[in-house]
């Protein structure tokens, strides 16, 4: 019997380990399933064909320039914020805009570039964020890159779709952050995509939905971002004499962002106010090929 005791102990430990492993596997599978289901459920609130409109096939980019405010060093700073929206064709091999349109691995995205140069008494801050949204699913982020540059250093973050989760790669000049990567939930919207993605909502008075929202990455830090369980609602309103849709995003108690979009397609962002003092107000809207000399620029609509 004494000889059997060690064997019994090993057997029990092995059974316990198997049970724990199976339990963990079930939890992971359930979590992944929940992610997929939650992300799918979000579809009913958005127009899947919003970005399929022929407007985005005209070979031009929508260039929206905003009067902007942001608090830097505990002081409100005024500057210009530019948001550019244009259709591109990506290839899967390199996950970037293709140069070869005869490839068999192409798929369409909407590229949204957001640029800001913020002056301060010390030195200017520069931010550039590039978001790539699936054209047939404008709520679904395919890729995001964002960087900050100022005299102390530069910080870079990249978000890529890895199937069941997003992967964030980062490189920061701050001690304790440095280089690394982390998983982010797939069943989430990114705060930085909201000025574009919310344009595709199925706007109606009293629309309400819940969504996980990853906080803005437009900063010079590479800390793990907060993921809010946000509540969104819409209401038809009037903004300085213009019919608009107001979208309120309650991230949590005391943190509320408000967005105003034109009531008519393509529902441009007219104004934005966030809980931490970031403000945008549209002052000029144009369509042109900004990457070409001359650019085939159309007259501004504002």
Q: What is the pLDDT of residues 236-274, one digit of tens each?
A: 999 999 999 999 999 999 999 999 999 999 999 999 999
5/257 Cα distance (integer angstroms): 64
- The predicted-structure confidence for 118-167, as pLDDT tens digits, reads as follows 999 999 999 999 999 999 999 999 999 999 999 999 999 999 999 889 99
86 vs 40, more confident: 86
pTM: 0.85
Q: What is the pLDDT of residue 16?
A: 41
Domain locations along the chain: 1-45, 46-288
**Which one, of 249, 245, 267, lies nearest residue 258 by Cα?**
249
pLDDT exceeds cutoff 50 at 33: no
pLDDT exceeds cutoff 50 at 71: yes
- The predicted-structure confidence for 172-187, as pLDDT tens digits, reads as follows 999 999 999 999 999 9
pLDDT exceeds cutoff 80 at 28: no
pLDDT exceeds cutoff 70 at 20: no
299 vs 210, more confident: 210
Torsion of CA 274, 278, 279, 284, to 10 degrees: -120
Rounded average pLDDT over 188-199: 98
pLDDT exceeds cutoff 50 at 8: no
Judge contact between 135 and 109, C-beta under 8 A. yes
Rounded average pLDDT over 49-77: 97
Q: What is the pLDDT of residue 299?
A: 62
Q: What is the pLDDT of residue 213?
A: 97
pLDDT band at 19 (very low <50, low <70, confident <90, very high): very low
Q: What is the pLDDT of residue 293?
A: 80
pLDDT band at 11 (very low <50, low <70, confident <90, very high): very low
């Amino acid at each position: 019997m004494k000889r059997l005791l060690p064997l019994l102990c090993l057997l029990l430990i092995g059974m316990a380990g198997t049970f724990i492993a199976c339990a963990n596997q079930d939890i992971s599978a359930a979590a992944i399933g929940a992610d997929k289901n939650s992300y799918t459920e979000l579809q009913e609130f958005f127009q899947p064909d919003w970005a399929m409109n022929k407007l985005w096939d005209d070979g031009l980019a929508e260039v929206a320039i905003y009067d902007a405010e942001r608090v830097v060093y505990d002081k409100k700073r005024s500057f210009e914020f530019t948001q550019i929206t244009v259709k591109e064709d990506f290839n899967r091999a390199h996950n970037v805009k293709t140069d070869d349109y005869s490839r068999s691995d192409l798929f369409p995205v909407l590229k949204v570039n957001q640029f800001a140069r913020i002056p301060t008494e010390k030195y200017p801050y520069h931010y550039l964020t590039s978001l790539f949204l699936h054209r047939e699913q404008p709520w679904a982020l395919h890729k995001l890159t964002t960087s900050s540059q100022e005299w102390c250093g530069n910080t870079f973050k990249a978000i890529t779709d890895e199937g069941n989760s997003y992967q964030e790669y980062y490189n920061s000049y701050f001690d304790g952050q440095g280089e690394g990567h982390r998983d982010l939930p797939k069943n989430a919207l990114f705060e930085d995509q909201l000025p574009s993605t919310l344009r595709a909502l199925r706007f109606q008075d009293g629309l309400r939905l819940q969504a996980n929202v990853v906080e803005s990455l437009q900063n010079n830090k590479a800390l793990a971002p907060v993921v809010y369980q946000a509540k969104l609602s819409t209401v038809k309103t009037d903004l300085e004499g213009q019919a608009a849709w107001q979208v309120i995003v309650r991230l949590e108690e005391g943190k509320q962002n408000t967005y105003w979009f034109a009531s008519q397609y393509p529902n441009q962002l007219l104004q934005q106010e966030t809980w931490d003092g970031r403000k945008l107000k549209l002052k000029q809207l144009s369509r042109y090929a900004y990457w070409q000399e001359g650019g085939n620029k159309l007259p501004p609509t504002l």
